[in-house]
Copies of this chain bind each other. A is one copy, B any other.
Amino acid sequence: MSLEQIWIAGSWQAEPAPLGELQSHDPRTGAALEPRFPISGEATMRTALRAGRAAAEELRAVAPERIAAFLERCASNIEADRDALVDCAHQETGLPKEPRLRNVELPRTTDQLRQAAAAARSRSFVDAQIDTKLSLRSMRGPLGGPVAVFGPNNFPFAFNAVMGGDFAAALAAGNPVIAKAHPGHLATTRRLAQAAAEAVSALELPAATVQLLYGLPSELGLALVGQPELGATAFTGSRRGGLALKAAADRAGRPIYLEMSAINPVFLLPGALSERPSAIAKELAGSCTMGTGQFCTKPGLSVLLAGSAAEAFSAELVTLLAAAPLGTLLSGSGAEQIEASLALWTRHGARVLRGGKPAGAPGFGFESTLCSVSGKQFLEHPEALQTEAFGPVHLLVLADSPAEMEAIASQVEGSLTGCIYSHTQGEDDALYERIAGRLRARVGRLLNDKMPTGVAVSAAMNHGGPYPATGHPGFTSVGMPSSIARFTALHSYDQVREHRLPPELRDSNPSKLWRRIDGEWTQRQL
């Protein structure tokens, strides 16, 4: 049985010593898909690290314009292969071809690559600081080693270890990438890597600028993130996997950026609920079932005041969820994980109002599900009741008073987002202040009257948040140029002769880079 080729040190090659094989599955049928992909071993990991380290040194001499052109060519190559990529990702993930894959995720991915190219060209991420009195200058530079990227299952294009956001950000900063494909979409990842390989070659970048492995035994994955040759690791996925990698990287003192699970609480203040219950119910049902609930920012629970308004709202939500088409889960283990979370919730007092069962066999699916629990029970078991259920599942938390809503806000664990729906004419303003005050330090992005599932690629986005949503509250994994900062080191130059400085810090400033000179942002030269 021949296995697909890995892409290491600039060449597509058979894994010399496969430790096993991987296959994607069609989630709509459960059937295993050909071809098969190798699980790599330690020798390949070492080769990739060595080649990646050499590429990191070579990339220092490559003009940013060439990296920008590479990222743009990646985007064009994806567009040129659009039909095949969409077919492939659809087969491996069950995500709808239209609008999701073709009209939403693919353009988002190419836009992200082009925004990264623009940042690489403009150098907007380097945060150049010049102290003329002391002859001291600083900027953000590359890490000096490759970035290992572990992509998640739920975005086969936009967060793919090849061509996704971490890939784009790491390269924009001048770092090579060692990509570890997600086992849920191996062929899509390989196809994206072929598009990247054409661009590496066309732009004559170092051969190991991008490398691709399909699988590593878990002990080697843990070893990888702790290697001194590595610049950093970026991981998007489950809390369990992320925390294991975090521990291994931390022990070795290697930077790691994680985007893990999040409960994304929604607070429905009483004025909003009495003003526009149906509109909010529709938004919430849509946000919970979009992508079959498999978004990092899916709202996992809502908090509202118990009473007749809540009962009506809950009934309307049940109707909407019942009417939603049955979606496809990304993996065969998805339903099992949701059932485990539901079991934990119900053991701690939650009731299932609708759904609660796997569906769609032999394909992978789960009924749209609504549960509820009292605020009192939530406050007794805040950890269990914030366990993520990665699918079309939502928990209503019925508080007995505004004060209890506030107490619940104080128990929210670190999350990517927090939403507050409030009365348009100000009836909720006092309670808003109290809830927002509690939420602000607990979430990365605070929203008003808007569901969190859209994550725009903007400089002002924060797709991040306090632990355990991520490993550090200061970084975002989405947004250009902001997400690039993760893959940079702070480089200061003290009385370094002017001609030896990086172009961004020299006296002249032909590209009109924004720099902070003696405390003022300016585009002038010195």
Contacts and interface: CB of A to CB of B under 8 A. Distances in A.
A394 interface: no
A130 B492 CA distance: 28
Given A60-B437, A129-B459, A131-B459, 4 more contacts: A134-B458, A446-B491, A459-B519, A476-B490
Contacts of A440: 60, 141, 144, 491
A475 B490 contact: yes
Of the candidates A250, A253, A414, the one having the most CB atoms from chain B within 10 angstroms of its own CB is A253
- Taken together, the copies of this chain in the complex come to 2
26 contacts: A56-B441, A57-B437, A60-B440, A134-B458, A138-B460, A143-B441, A145-B441, A246-B253, A253-B471, A255-B472, A255-B474, A436-B500, A440-B491, A444-B490, A446-B496, A448-B494, A448-B497, A461-B492, A462-B490, A464-B490, A466-B489, A473-B489, A474-B490, A475-B490, A476-B490, A514-B520
A251 interface: yes
Contact of A494 (B56, B136, B433, B450): B450
A414 B254 CA distance: 11
Nearest to A243: B253
A521 to B, nearest CB: 4
A432 B129 contact: no
A249 to B, nearest CB: 9
Interface in A434-462: 436-437, 440-442, 444-450, 452, 456, 458-462
A462 B450 CA distance: 40
Interface of A: 56-57, 60, 124, 129-131, 134, 136-138, 140-145, 246-247, 250-251, 253-255, 414, 417, 432-433, 436-437, 440-442, 444-450, 452, 456, 458-462, 464, 466-468, 471-476, 482, 485-486, 488-497, 500, 514, 516, 519-521
